Amino acid sequence: MNFTASSAQLLNIKADSLILPTGPQLKDSAEALDKSLDGAISSLIKAGDFTGKSSETLVMHIPGASGKRIILLGTEGATTTQQQIKVIDAGATALLKTPSVKAVWVGEGLSDDAEWQAGIVARSIQTASYQYAHVPKSIKKSKPKKLTSVTYWAASKAEMTAAKKGLSYGAAVGNGMNAARQLGNLPANICTPSFIAAEAKALAKGPAKNRAKVSTTVLSEAQMRKLNMGSLLSVSAGSDEPGHLIVMKYQGAKASAKPVVLVGKAVTFDTGGISLKPGSGMDEMKYDMCGGASVIGVMNALIETQLPINVVGIIPAVENMPNGNATKPGDVVTSMSGQTIEILNTDAEGRLILCDALTYAGRFKPDTVIDIATLTGAVIGALGKVTAGMLSNDDELAEQLLSSGTRSGDRAWRMPLWEEYDELLKSNFADIANIGGPQAGTITAACFLARFTKTYKWAHLDVAGTAWVSGAAKGATGRPVPILMDYLRSKAG
């Protein structure tokens, strides 16, 4: 998709679709367009065909202009960032339902921040354009979308300049989300730990300008064993698929600048191990690697945006299976940190791979560490499918992530990380148990991880409720790539 910005005369821009955000009272460009069309837009409003309410859309064909249309996009009541993003998403969806090849998006009627609004427009169109790349290839592919270019129209040259920045950034974030979605949607017999490792290596073999900034190394089980990653290896022990620790480095700043480290859980399929999950809905456990997929999505977006920041992505990638070598409830393992863990439930495996990855993250002397994981069903019970759960050992970092969530529309909600919850993890036979009982599951899971993050600023994003949707629209969402990219962009300055 090609995105451009223009402040030229609106009707002189060649396009077959024009997206016009407006309320019931026509203003500025909407009013001017209505006059040029002899009141065609206002007539639709008077007739009640279009009310202008938030996210409402109506396609009207321009009289005397064959194949050209205006998509009216309702904005009334869209006062919050989240509501404005919902409006833009509705406009992107409506646009892609038409046979349009070239479109113009009128940058009025919503936010006064042209850069932000243009960024969301580009992101929304990219994500709305996503089509699952079928594997195996013998499956009939969907027809590609016809839309090839979108021009964001701004009222002034200053707004146009800001919009260009926003379009470039938003398109990169959208592409990163789509990369994460594709990995998440692949079946687990294809998207194995080794497959993810190969995808991460491929990022470091792109165009020459990228190779200088991105490098990938993959640690084998033998190498992890030498590092005493007994906790991580206890999860992969039950699978014929070997586990990997994938380490990706993006260097956009001086080598001396401390990196932000992103740690993404990638359990490519989670049966629960010996603590076997119920069969209903188990197919969706292919999405248990969406934390790792989001790290790869962020790396894709960083390559496109060339942000001046150093980022390390660490992805512990395993499969959790129940064979004869599988870890059993009651087993005690030793983590890389030296802390011993009593495994009371093998279905609480994500924290077992993350704790060793978080210990490994300390080697990079990080500015900040953020882990991303589809960690607990409890977070869905608490927050539903709307927002990620967030816990942190640093108030400033927590506030920064909350702000990034609001700006990007990819929100998080902070939960407590108190000593009273940590006490639930006591074990008679090890330093810590891997579960804390039936209460406060999301919090006790984070308390477990906090034991391994004492030396740096750390936040945990539990995205079990937001990384994918179920039902007829089943599929990965690409979250939390937007919040992570917004945070990194704010850190880069």
Burial pattern 409-443, b for ≥16 Cβ within 10 A else e, equals bbbbebbebeeebbebbeeeebbbbbbbeeebbbb
Residues 6+ apart with CB under 8 A from 73: 19, 20, 21, 22, 55, 56, 57, 87, 90, 91, 94, 109
Per the structure block, which two tokens stand in for 318?
């395993």
User: Angle at which helices 157-185 and 114-128 pack, to 10 degrees?
Assistant: 30
Sequence-distant (≥ 6) Cβ neighbours of residue 404 within 8 angstroms: 410, 483, 484, 486, 487, 490
> CATH 3.40.630.10 region(s) of the chain?
180-492
Q: At what angle do helices 481-492 and 290-305 cross, to 10 degrees?
A: 40
**Per-residue pLDDT tens over the stretch 279-297:** 999 999 999 999 999 999 9
Which one of the listed residues 86, 102, 201, 277 is annotated catalytic?
277
Q: How many CB atoms lie within 10 A of CB 59?
A: 14
Looking at domain 2-165, does it have CATH number 3.30.390.30? Answer: no
pLDDT of residue 210: 60
Q: Which fold has domain 180-492?
A: Aminopeptidase (3.40.630)
Find out whether 244 and 229 touch, Cβ atoms under 8 Å: no
Q: Where in the chain is the domain with CATH 3.40.220.10?
A: 2-165
The bridge status of strand 149-153 relative to strand 102-106 is parallel
Please state, in angstroms and rounded to a whole number, the distance separating the CA atoms of residues 266 and 285: 11
* 489 counts as catalytic: no
* Contacts with 481 (C-beta within 8 Å, 6 or more apart), sequence order: 173, 176, 177, 180, 294, 297, 298, 301, 410
Q: What was the pLDDT predicted at 205?
A: 84
Please report the pLDDT score of residue 212 as a whole number: 62
Beta strands in 102-211 (DSSP E): 102-106, 149-153
Residue 277 among the catalytic residues: yes
Residues of the chain with pLDDT under 50: none
**310 touches 258 (CB < 8 A):** yes
Distance CA 199, CA 203 (A): 7
Contact 363, 312 (CB under 8 A): no
Active-site residue, from 351, 407, 457, 479:
351
Burial class (CB within 10 angstroms; exposed 0-12, middle 13-18, buried 19+) of 86: middle
- pLDDT confidence of residue 134: 80
Q: How many residues does the structure list for the chain?
A: 493
Cβ–Cβ under 8 Å, residues 117 and 23? no
Parallel/antiparallel/unpaired status of strands 102-106 and 17-22: parallel
